[in-house]
Amino acid sequence: MNRRWGLGLYTGVFYLYLYLPIVVLIVFSFNTDRLNLFWEGFTWRWYATLFTDARVGLATRNTLFVALTSTIISTVLGTLAALALQRYTFRLKGISEPILYIPIVIPEIVMGIGLLSLYATLKMTLGLLTITLSHIAFSIPFVALVVRARLHGFDRSIEEAAMDLGANEVTTFWRVTLPVILPGVLSGAMLAFTLSLDDFIITFFTAGPGSSTLPLLVYGMVKTHITPEINALSTIWVASVLILLLGSQALQSLQSRPARAA
CATH number of domain containing 72: 1.10.3720.10
| Distance from the Cα of residue 1 to its chain's centroid | 41
Residue 57 lies in a domain: yes
Count how many domains the chain has.
1
Residue 186 lies in a domain: yes
* Structural domain that includes position 100: 47-255
Residue 234 lies in a domain: yes
Q: What is the pLDDT of residues 21-66, one digit of tens each?
A: 888 888 888 888 777 777 788 888 888 888 888 888 888 889 999 9
> What is the phi/psi pair of residue 190, to 5°?
-70, -35
Mean pLDDT score of the chain: 84
At 220, the pLDDT band (50, 70, 90 cuts) reads confident
Residue 152 lies in a domain: yes
b/e string for 192-225 if b means 16 or more Cβ within 10 A?
bbbbbbbbeebbbbbbeeebbbbbbbbeebeeee
Count of other CB atoms within 10 angstroms of residue 5: 9
Residue 183 lies in a domain: yes
Q: Which of 17, 12, 25 is nearest to 233 (CA)?
A: 25
